[in-house]
Amino acid sequence: MGYTIIEKILREHSASKELGDFIYVSVDFCFGNDITAPLAVKGFLDAGFDAVADPRKIGFICDHFVPARDAKAANNVMMLKAFAERFHLPHFYDIHQCGIEHVFLVERGLVQPGKLVIGADSHTCTYGGIGAASFGVGSTDLLAAMKEGKCWLKAPQTIKFVYKGTPGEWIGGKDLILHTIGKIGVDGALYKVMEFTGPVISRLGVEDRLTMCNMAIEAGGKTGVVPPDERTFAYLRRIQGERFQYTPEMADLKSDDDARYADVQEIDVSGMPPQVACPHLPSNVRPVDALDSVRVDQVVIGSCTNGRISDLRIAASVLQGRKIKPEVRVVILPGSHSVYAQAEREGLLKSFVDAGCIVSPPTCGSCLGGHAGILDKGEVALATTNRNFIGRMGDPESFVYLSGPAVAAASALTGKITHPERIM
Amino acid sequence: MKIEGRAHIFGENVNTDDIIAAKYLDSQDEKFLGSKCMENIDSEFPRRVDPGDILVAGRNFGCGSSREHAPISIKGCGIALVIAESFARIFYRNAINIGLPILEISDTGKIHSGDRLSVDLNTGIIVNQDRGTEYRTQKFPRFLQEIIAQGGLVPWVSARKKGDE
Domain residue limits, chain B: 2-139
User: In the prediction, which pLDDT does B164 show?
Assistant: 66
SS3 for chain A, per residue?
Answer: CECCHHHHHHHHCECCCCCCCEEEEECCEEEEECCCHHHHHHHHHHCCCCCCCCHHHEEEECCCCCCCCCHHHHHHHHHHHHHHHHCCCCEEECHHHCECHHHHHHHCCCCCCCCEEEECCHHHHHHHHHCCEEEECCHHHHHHHHHHCEEEEECCCEEEEEEECCCCCCCCHHHHHHHHHHHHCCCCCCCCEEEEECHHHHCCCHHHHHHHHHCHHHHCCCEEECCCCHHHHHHHHHHHHHHCCCCHHHHHCCCCCCECCCEEEEEECCCCCCEEECCCCCCCEEEHHHHCCCECCEEEEEHHHHCCHHHHHHHHHHHCCCCCCCCCEEEEECCEHHHHHHHHHCCHHHHHHHHCCEECCCCCHHHHCCCCCCECCCCEEEECCCCCCCCCCECCCCEEEECCHHHHHHHHHHCECCCHHHCC
Contact B89 A140 (CB under 8 A): no
Phi and psi at residue A238, in whole multiples of 5°?
A: -70, -50
Contact B66 A136 (CB under 8 A): yes
Nearest-neighbour CA in chain A from B153: distance (Å): 7
As a whole number, mean pLDDT of residues A279-294 equals: 98
User: In the prediction, which pLDDT does A35 show?
Assistant: 97
User: In the prediction, which pLDDT does B160 show?
Assistant: 83
User: For residue A332, is pLDDT > 90?
Assistant: yes
Instruction: Tell me the pTM.
Output: 0.97
Query: What confidence tens digit (pLDDT) does each residue in A86-130 have?
Result: 999 999 999 999 999 999 999 999 999 999 999 999 999 999 999
Q: Does B59 touch chain A (CB under 8 A)?
A: yes
User: In the prediction, which pLDDT does B161 show?
Assistant: 66
Q: Give the confidence band of A20 by pLDDT, cuts at 50, 70, 90.
A: confident
Name the residue among B136, B97, B17 with its Cα closest to residue A186.
B17
A-chain residues near B21 (CB < 8 A): 369, 391
User: In the prediction, which pLDDT does A141 show?
Assistant: 98
pLDDT above 70: percentage of residues in chain A: 100
Phi and psi at residue A48, in whole multiples of 5°?
A: 80, 15
User: In the prediction, which pLDDT does B139 show?
Assistant: 82
**Do residues B37 and B83 lie in contact, with contact meaning Cβ atoms separated by under 8 Å?**
no
Name the residue among A212, A201, A189, A209 with its Cα closest to residue A262.
A189
CA dihedral A151, A387, A334, A415 (to 10 degrees): 180
Q: What is the CATH number of domain A5-267?
A: 3.30.499.10
Query: What is the DSSP secondary structure assignment for residue B68, as one 8-state letter?
Result: T
Domain at A275-422, CATH homologous superfamily: Aconitase, domain 3 (3.30.499.10)
User: In the prediction, which pLDDT does B163 show?
Assistant: 59
**Do residues B66 and A120 lie in contact, with contact meaning Cβ atoms separated by under 8 Å?**
yes
A-chain residues near B40 (CB < 8 A): 390-391, 396
Mutate to test the interface with A, among B41, B68, B92, B148 (most CBs of A within 10 A): B68
Amino acid at A130: I
- CA-CA distance, A365 to A357, in Å (whole number)? 16
Q: Does B32 touch chain A (CB under 8 A)?
A: no
A-chain residues near B138 (CB < 8 A): none
As a whole number, mean pLDDT of residues A229-236 equals: 98
User: In the prediction, which pLDDT does A268 show?
Assistant: 98
- CA-CA distance, A409 to A420, in Å (whole number)? 8
Q: Does B17 touch chain A (CB under 8 A)?
A: yes
Sheet of A223-225, strands arranged across: A223-225, A193-197, A158-164, A263-268
Specify the range with the lowest mean pLDDT, choosing from A44-53, A313-322, B140-149. B140-149
Contact A140 B26 (CB under 8 A): no
Nearest-neighbour CA in chain A from B59: distance (Å): 8
Nearest-neighbour CA in chain A from B129: distance (Å): 31
**Do residues A180 and A218 lie in contact, with contact meaning Cβ atoms separated by under 8 Å?**
no
What is the CATH topology of the domain spanning B2-139?
Aconitase; domain 4 (3.20.19)
Report the alpha-carbon angle A182-A188-A189, nearest 5: 120
Nearest-neighbour CA in chain A from B142: distance (Å): 9
For chain A, residues classed under CATH 3.30.499.10 are 5-267, 275-422
Nearest-neighbour CA in chain B from A84: distance (Å): 19
Query: What confidence tens digit (pLDDT) does each residue in A168-180 have?
Result: 999 999 999 999 9
A369: left (phi over 0), alpha (psi -120 to 50) or beta: left
Contact A389 B15 (CB under 8 A): yes
Contact A36 B68 (CB under 8 A): yes
As beta bridge partners, residue B3 has B119
User: In the prediction, which pLDDT does B165 show?
Assistant: 58
User: In the prediction, which pLDDT does B81 show?
Assistant: 97
Contact B143 A392 (CB under 8 A): no
- CA-CA distance, A304 to A174, in Å (whole number)? 12
B-chain residues near A389 (CB < 8 A): 15, 17-18, 64
Contact A387 B64 (CB under 8 A): yes
Q: Which residue of B has its CA nearest to A25?
A: B165
Contact A16 B97 (CB under 8 A): no
Contact B22 A368 (CB under 8 A): yes
As a whole number, mean pLDDT of residues A302-306 equals: 98
Q: What is the pLDDT along chain B (165 residues), one digit of tens a residue?
A: 899 999 999 999 999 999 999 999 999 999 999 999 999 999 999 999 999 999 999 999 999 999 999 999 999 999 999 999 999 999 999 999 999 999 999 999 999 999 999 999 989 999 999 999 999 998 888 889 899 989 999 999 999 865 565
Nearest to B64 among A36, A148, A389 (CB): A389
